Amino acid sequence: MPRGGRATTALLASVAAAALLLTSCGGAEPGSTTMPAPTATDAQAEPNASDPAEGVPGTLDEPAELATGLQAPWSIAFLDERTALISERDTMVIRSLSLDGSGAPSGEAQQIAQLSGGTASGEGGLLGIAIGDGHLYWYLSTADDNRVARATIVESDGGILIGQPEEVLTGIPVAGNHNGGRLAFGPDGMLYVTTGDAGAPGTAQDPDSLAGKILRLEPDGSIPADNPVAGSPVYTLGHRNPQGIAWAEDGTMFATEFGQDTWDELNRIEAGANYGWPAVEGIAEVPRFTDPVQQWSPGEASPSGMAAAGGSLWIANLRGESVREVSLDEPAASVVHWQGRFGRMRDVVAAPDGSLWALTNATDGRGQPAEGDDRILRFAP
């Protein structure tokens, strides 16, 4: 594994204390077909295949390679223009990557923390991370649940230091697959959390379950007063396994979602809306459910992380082995970049300098790693 960069002895000591609070295990991978076929509560409408929106080939400038040798990386969060943190799903490691004044890496991605006390397998483990409200937040699979925790984070001459972890939200159902796991702060300052159905499709329609949802929380984990249902963190329901969320400049929220056998989805997210799983998959035109704005066959997509930049949404595709660009001016169409060139893609993140960073994911157990995998790539939108 890459090593180097600034010393972080104090951080490692604090993370050792964190191990007393956190245990982890794993789960299996989105876009899989191991789940039973959904049982419809409405008549299952035939998917609208008139515009499957598979995407046309596109071109991007050659990306810069910022880091190599990462192990099943899952998420990127920026401290500032020169420092990013990266989570690794299976190792439970958080790494930092620093850039110099020219924008080039000032060293290899350095391990700054390892959340010990458990194991990861399948799709579970250390998943999404986010930075906000002076804290580092993470989404972690444990033996009993998926949970969100946070710790204060400070940059100093001695390295990146975090304080004692504290729980933000516990009790999210965990399973071998469909754990969701994306964290992001919205333009309203709230923390958004995506959760999967944990292999139990019916939970996605249960308003009292945290599975198969997008959740909205105050940074400290309390429930915002203006959530759709008083006292509930549930913002939207009816999701199978959403793993990407992003906001356009006008505040419109979008989410990506893994389908089962038929359609993956890009959804426009509206408070209180029901996106239909498991009764429907893809565009179904059932009035009480909200249809996606775009759908793709899982073999061409399997969308994970997503960013908004340059008037487009940029979506990391796992099975599709590409980055998909969806114009916000024409959200029913898409362009596919780099198909097959870098293998499975897990995340795309907008950097503070206006560039985009992409995470490859050949080492997640389903890819075919090449020498140097996995990588961080930087490109201009």
Range in 31-40, 50-59, 178-187, 239-248 the model is least confident about = 31-40
Count of CB atoms situated within 10 Å of the CB of 164: 11
| β-sheet bridge partners, residue 96 | 85, 110
Please write the tens of the pLDDT for every residue from 151-177. Answer: 999 887 778 888 889 999 999 999 999
Query: Whole-angstrom Cα distance, residue 69 to residue 173?
Result: 31
Residues 214-251: tens digit of each pLDDT: 999 999 999 999 999 999 999 999 999 999 999 999 99
Supply the DSSP symbol for 99: B
Q: Where residue 16 falls among pLDDT bands split at 50, 70, 90? A: very low
pLDDT tens string 114-143: 886 546 878 999 999 999 999 999 999 999
Mean pLDDT, rounded, of the chain: 86
How far apart CA 326 and CA 256 sit, in angstroms, is 12
Q: Which residues of 80-91 are buried (b: 16+ CB within 10 A; e: fewer)?
A: eebbbbbbbbbb
- Predicted confidence at residue 220, as pLDDT, reads 97
Confidence band, pLDDT 50/70/90 cuts, at residue 52: low
Are the CB atoms for 217 and 191 separated by under 8 Å?
A: yes
Mean pLDDT over 189-193 rounds to 98
* Average pLDDT value for residue range 342-350: 97
Domains and CATH numbers, the chain: 297-381 (2.40.10.500)
**pLDDT at residue 32 above 70?**
no
